[in-house]
Chain A
Amino acid sequence: MALPTTSTVAWSNPLQPPAYNPVVARTTLARPPPAHVGHSDTPMRDSPFDASLQPPTAPSEQPKKVEWTPEVRNYVGRAFEPENTIAGISKEDTTNKLRVVLSYFAERSQLEGIDWSTYPLPQELLRDERAAAWAQAQSNSLLSSPNGPANPTLDTPQSKKRKSQDKMDLSESADASVPPWRRTNLESRITYANGRNEKRHKKNAVSGDATSKFDQADLEKRKQRFQLGKNGNSSTPPWNSPKPDSDADMDNAPCVGTNMSLEKSYFRLTAPPKPETVRPQHVLEKTLAMLRKKWKADKNYGYMCNQFKSLRQDLTVQHIKNDFTVKVYESHARIALEQGDMGEYNQCQTQLKALYSQNLAGNPDEFTAYRVLYFVYTCNKTDMNDLLAELTPSDKIKPEIKHALDVRSSLALGNYHKFFRLYTIAPRMGMYLMDMFIGRERLHALANISRAYMTVGLRFLTDELQFGDDGECREFLESHGASQAIDKKLDEHGKPQFRVKVKEAASVFESLRQAAFALVDIKGQK
């Protein structure tokens, strides 16, 4: 009889979805009469398949009141103990898996029959599944293209993201895999329909499921290839194999890349990177040179940011921390500044600060100055104070830093005149940063002026607030609801003269100022 006898398989099966496995098809046909089933004490008395036929999360028709024994409670507790977490497996995944496992046994009233203290935890099950799927992905690709190398992208997050694609593969293979004799079998058709059903359920489940679904699809494919005509039960449970544990070790050990391509899209890592997807430093250096050239040529920031993030990731996983690292971060910081991407800029800045503390090459003065300006922008007094505490007297006289500190103090003292002068002479890329708050400071100055003067010439505002010309200044005023206050008169030569009755717009400017400053609470993360 093909009925599996080892109880170890029992738990691994409810988690495998579709019912097109030929081996099981036979068990289904050869299923003993129900009465006999009732006597069996092994968890395997039902076909494990039927478990998967029922959507695990959907309530059964007659929900049974389940009494959780202390052993089960203990098992659940252990599943969420911090020391039992496994890198790369989220709590969500664990929760889902746990639910599947428990409902499988609960529906069969077998909760007592299991030794919960030795039963693998849901995250261990997940890890083993993933490891198995990974191994299969490897052998799959080897089998499908015996002459070529393994496709390195097969298991990258990239492929995991292509959800719609995966779904297609899955259903195709499902169709193809149904053996002819099963098509004539009524029961199998029901099974099939239910299998589909379950897929839909899985799809509707948490998005984190996408990963395991993909793995299982591979798992199935592999089974179809290897198990035809064989007893399909592997006698060694996957968690006993030596492989899966490598996860933990790989977390900290630097990886050495072997990938030679210059371009690579960024994806957040969810598992330790594989060397063939990581580029070594000499390739990264070429990448950086290429990116710089490209940036000058076509200024495509979306592409650039993506490439830089993957570049940074490759540096990180290989623990490369040297002058080149600094160069990468500086380049990315500058490009982000140019684009006003403060979130990305801030990430680079934080890293640069730590890198400079290692006495690596680079431009610490320039970036310290940017940090001062950045904290002016975010109005973060605590961080500003900490930064001031770090500066040494010799730092403070460096031209870039001194400029930034002057900007800070001019604004602190409300000296907008000095501030706008400093704006025009900002060294390096300081102006890009100051652009982030120049509008706000113009409103601040206008609020100020509108309390202190009755009327002023338009030219005075243009000069004080450093607008390009009178037209630009007028536009700014008009777009901020002060068009009523602008007065046009002709002078003795017949030329138009503009005066601004600032007093009238005082309350407008004041509320605009408050709104502009209220916006920056979020540390620049827009």
Chain B
Amino acid sequence: MSMEAALAGFQQAYNTHDAFELASCLKPIPVDRLYDFWRSTNEARVEHTVKHAITFGLGRIERSEAQGWIDVFVGFWRASDKIINADQAQNQGRLSERHALEVYEAWKDLVQTFQKYIGNGTLPHWIIFTLYFVANDLRRFAIKADAQLAKAKPVTFSAGLSDDVVATTLKNQKLEEAARVFSRIFALCMSDRNPNLSESRKWAVYCIANLQFKTYFKLKTITLCKNLIKSIEAQADMPPWNLYPKAHRVTYMYYCGVIAFLQEDYNKAETALFNSWAYCYKGSTKNRELILTYLIPCRLITKSEIPSVQILQEFPHLQTLFGDLVSSIKRGDLAGFDKAFAEGEPEFVRRRVFLTLERSRDIALRNLLRKVFLAGGYEDLKEGQAEKDRMRRTRIPLAHFATALRMGSGGGQSVDDEEVECLLANMIYKGLMKGYISREHAMVVLNKKGAFPGTGV
């Protein structure tokens, strides 16, 4: 197969200005298509062959642009060479760290070639979306390379003049390097001063930002995301938000929500996550599930709201994750809550919702205490009082709550009287229960109007 034939897809995509189709021509997956392209030339002749194919294939374009494409495809061929090398090594069971590193480095060169030619205006603006896909592949290669490096030498010695034995920085070397590449691409989009918005690289701001979010989350440097959001918010002349592709908006909102969630700004998180949820394509179950993973704990905190049965049924994974927890909260079943919480712990921790979900135990407790209050029944009717004005008993002995708590905790742990008081004090402090504790009378005096705000009593 000749180079011209191999590049036919590219020409088609180029002529139709289809950034996605163009990106698919540059897919670094070792399948027949890549092999064909790779076989069409060799290291010695690659520049010549590509030059020939591009100049003849693209017809009348600027010389500098042709040179840009030549560099891109030579870079792509070199990367393919490494990828196929690695693929063959894997098939023969001799894959080493060197392969992953070579692939990463070659692909990085390709990304930077793109960056260069987009930056100086040689390649048309819409290529920025192709660059997004190419950069995303760089992220994957970087992760692979780091994994290989980590396997080869688990702990690095600190070099040079540092005082301590172990260097802490080199763990995700390549991905960190890739992150820096991405932030240059981001700057490339942000700094586009083209007054004609329809040709602005600013249209790629959110999708590149999403790529950076993903990278920073992997690197556990989530604080860097905040700077990114800030710089976007500070940018005055952005195209209207509503005109961005939904996919970019939904992902961006999702990350904003999760970041606010991790900053414990639950109100902001809820707004952003709900926005993301509302616009998310109904068919992408996985994404909707991810949004709910944070939206559910968020709502528990901000509104003391539990998800409906229907919504959990729609997402079996969430049902296993939250199902028991949610029903325990509803029943005021502390033992059930603790059990479900402990079972879900690994996944909760992984999703970073553990510490937030823990706080929803308060709602389970509130529901339990509310039951005690309801079980206390009503005061006797006073003279001239109608049945509908009947008052609930609002003076409840501490012992009643203590009994409920001991039953509710499943009898496993002993709860002493002071601890009962402490938990009640907490409910009052957090505003989940209105009233006060009287130690002299061993009583809890609840507010006559709305002892448990927001629950109808």
With both chains docked as a complex, state the minimum distance between the C-beta of A325 and any C-beta of chain B, in angstroms.
Answer: 6
* Cβ–Cβ < 8 Å partners of B238 in chain A: none
Q: Contact check, B358 vs A453: say whether CB atoms are below 8 A apart.
A: no
For A251, A447, A448, the residue with the greatest tally of chain B CB atoms inside 10 Å of its CB is A448
Query: B-facing mask of A294-321, CB < 8 A → 1, else 0?
Result: 0000000000000001001101100111
Q: Contact check, B418 vs A457: say whether CB atoms are below 8 A apart.
A: no
| Interface residue? A452 (CB, 8 A) | yes
- Contacting residue for B419 out of A319, A389, A418, CB 8 A: A418
Q: Contact check, B429 vs A451: say whether CB atoms are below 8 A apart.
A: yes
Number of interface residues of A (CB under 8 A): 52
With both chains docked as a complex, state the minimum distance between the C-beta of B373 and any C-beta of chain A, in angstroms.
Answer: 16
**With known contacts A389-B349, A413-B358, A351–B165 Cβ distance under 8 A:** yes
The residue on A at minimum CB distance from B262 is A382
Measured CA separation A443–B439 after assembly (Å)? 20
* Cβ–Cβ < 8 Å partners of B358 in chain A: 409, 412-413
Closest CB pairs A-B (n = 10): A452-B425, A417-B422, A354-B166, A269-B161, A414-B426, A452-B428, A448-B429, A417-B419, A389-B349, A451-B429
| Interface residue? A464 (CB, 8 A) | yes
Query: A-facing mask of B323-362, CB < 8 A → 1, else 0?
Result: 0000000000000000000000110011010110011011
Query: A-facing mask of B396-423, CB < 8 A → 1, else 0?
Result: 0000000000000000000010110111
| Interface residue? A477 (CB, 8 A) | no
Q: Contact check, B264 vs A381: say whether CB atoms are below 8 A apart.
A: yes
B-side residues, CB < 8 A to A, are 154-155, 157-166, 168, 220, 222, 262, 264, 345-346, 349-350, 352, 354-355, 358-359, 361-362, 416, 418-419, 421-426, 428-430, 436-439
| Interface residue? A386 (CB, 8 A) | yes
The residue on A at minimum CB distance from B365 is A413
A-side residues, CB < 8 A to B, are 87-88, 251-252, 268-272, 309, 312-313, 315-316, 319-321, 325, 347, 350-351, 354-355, 357-358, 381-382, 384-386, 388-389, 409, 412-418, 447-449, 451-454, 456-457, 460, 463-464
Q: Contact check, B439 vs A456: say whether CB atoms are below 8 A apart.
A: yes
For A416, A417, A457, the residue with the greatest tally of chain B CB atoms inside 10 Å of its CB is A417
**With known contacts A382-B222, A413-B358, A460-B439, A449–B425 Cβ distance under 8 A:** yes
**With known contacts A270-B161, A351-B166, A409-B358, A388–B349 Cβ distance under 8 A:** yes
Measured CA separation A35–B162 after assembly (Å)? 56
Q: Contact check, B424 vs A316: say whether CB atoms are below 8 A apart.
A: no
Q: Contact check, A251 vs B159: say whether CB atoms are below 8 A apart.
A: yes
Measured CA separation A26–B423 after assembly (Å)? 92
Q: Contact check, A388 vs B165: say whether CB atoms are below 8 A apart.
A: no
The residue on A at minimum CB distance from B435 is A452
Q: Contact check, B437 vs A452: say whether CB atoms are below 8 A apart.
A: yes
* Cβ–Cβ < 8 Å partners of A447 in chain B: 429
With both chains docked as a complex, state the minimum distance between the C-beta of B277 and any C-beta of chain A, in angstroms.
Answer: 23
Q: Contact check, A316 vs B428: say whether CB atoms are below 8 A apart.
A: no
* Cβ–Cβ < 8 Å partners of A409 in chain B: 358
The residue on B at minimum CB distance from A385 is B352
Measured CA separation A284–B449 after assembly (Å)? 72
Q: Contact check, B164 vs A351: say whether CB atoms are below 8 A apart.
A: yes
* Cβ–Cβ < 8 Å partners of A414 in chain B: 362, 422, 426, 429-430
Mind listing 13 A-B residue pairs with CB under 8 Å?
A251-B160, A351-B166, A354-B168, A384-B355, A388-B349, A388-B354, A389-B349, A414-B422, A415-B423, A416-B422, A417-B422, A451-B425, A454-B436
The residue on B at minimum CB distance from A450 is B429
Measured CA separation A88–B346 after assembly (Å)? 46
* Cβ–Cβ < 8 Å partners of A463 in chain B: 418
* Cβ–Cβ < 8 Å partners of B163 in chain A: 268-269, 309, 312-313, 316
The residue on B at minimum CB distance from A444 is B429
**With known contacts A413-B358, A415-B422, A453–B165 Cβ distance under 8 A:** no
